[in-house]
Amino acid sequence: MDTPEKINANDSTPNNTFLSTEGVSILDSMDQTVSCCSTENDDGLAAHEKPGYSLRSYVERFIETRIGLVPVIKAQLGKDDLFSTFYVRCGIRRYRYTVSPGLYAIGNPDKDSEVLITANFKLTFDMLRKELDGVSAWILVLNTKGINVWCAAGKGTFSTGELVKRIADNHLDKIVDHKRVIVPQLGATGVSARDVKKQSGFKVIYGPIRASDIRVFLKNGTKAEKQMRQVTFTMYERFILTPVEIQTVLKPALITAAVLLLLAGIGPGIFSFSGVLQRGGISILALAAGIFSGAFVTPVLLPFIPPRKFALKGIIVGSIFALLPILFAASAVNGMAGYLALFLFSVTISSYLAMNFTGATPFTSPSGVEKEMKQYIPVQLASLAISFGLWIYSAF
């Protein structure tokens, strides 16, 4: 994603990549850009037009600073931003949805305005800027490889070294007269305030967890209220994560469905195409029930399902939804072995996907996740093997 910056390195434009061209940045396909006129317009944008390039839709204008021009971004999200957000929420090109690292402005900031630090995951960038309508500030975007602040801090890309580098590269000491930057609280695991101060001279102030609190935080003189320091995981916050969980499992699910259809044809006549249609349809329904219960229902209802362990939560919810394929299995399954096979298969899928959701929640620790996986993955594998064996046995 650094290619556009290299292209602009020798011209008069700022280091921030606010220009795009076909084939240079993946953002061209995700973020529809506005075209520049060939003549100077009121915002002075046309001066930055280059053949084959167009300005990013979130760039409003440019301001002159002590280090040159800096792009001013819009607080309001456009239709293209909203559509792109929908795609990313569904897991489409999620890890390629980025903005270029560097310095941006919002409103009309000056030498006394605060400097807000964020990640170059565009969804994070958008959530911050939409909360800054009417606020004048500088935004310093770190190169987190397209990962949100919390995850990037854990992975080491939202880090002390990256922050110090961006402060130096963007000559922040010439932009503002004060020596402070505001880092999201969820980035604290990756950014050492003491080391940043020692290496750059800038003091780190840890801001609120949620971007929605940033306006009040700034109004209070960078003082955080108690609720600004508390992580929430509401039903809505869990719900908006489920499309990614479902999208992630789609490809493995298609492969599994093909295997299920093949197994469904095995029977007394060696292979039966009628079996593929009847038994195959029921087994795919069991797969769908497992995915729905484990990747959607369990995450949404997470706190209301009694056990602490996610795999057990998936088993409880999966046992309920596994009844659905069994109700439709009467004409396709002979004997208890077939019913048990469908039940075990659907519940196991649900349990595994529910356990997989641990990586998206603040409810568990890395050591707890590792312990649970070591405990339940062997059980899940054994359950799958038994269900496949029973399914084949029930055909004879």
State phi, psi for 253 to the nearest 5 degrees: -65, -40
Choose the weakest-confidence range: 137-146, 227-236, 303-312.
Answer: 227-236
Collect all residues with Cβ–Cβ distance below 8 Å to 213 and sequence separation of at least 6: 224, 225, 227, 228
- Give the model confidence (pLDDT) of 157-195 as tens digits: 999 999 999 999 999 999 999 999 999 999 999 999 999
Choose the weakest-confidence range: 218-227, 231-240, 249-258, 296-305.
Answer: 231-240
Collect all residues with Cβ–Cβ distance below 8 Å to 137 and sequence separation of at least 6: 105, 106, 107, 109, 113, 114, 115, 116, 218
Mean pLDDT of 68-88: 84
pLDDT beyond 90 at 52: no
Q: How far apart are the first and last CA of the chain?
A: 57
Domains delineated in the chain: 3-230 (3.40.50.11600), 236-393 (no CATH)
- Give the model confidence (pLDDT) of 303-336 as tens digits: 999 998 999 999 999 999 999 888 887 666 778 9
CA–CA gap between residue 37 and residue 49 (Å, rounded): 8
- The rounded mean pLDDT for the chain is 83
Mean pLDDT of 275-300: 92
What stretch of H or E contains 139? Answer: strand 137-142
Residue 242, phi-psi category: left (phi > 0), alpha (psi -120 to 50), beta (remainder):
alpha
Mean pLDDT of 100-113: 95
State phi, psi for 368 to the nearest 5 degrees: -65, -40
CA–CA gap between residue 390 and residue 342 (Å, rounded): 9
Q: What is the pLDDT of residue 180?
A: 96
State phi, psi for 184 to the nearest 5 degrees: -55, 140
Highest average pLDDT, of 2-11, 164-173, 225-234, 268-277, comes from 164-173
pTM of the model: 0.72
CA–CA gap between residue 204 and residue 210 (Å, rounded): 17
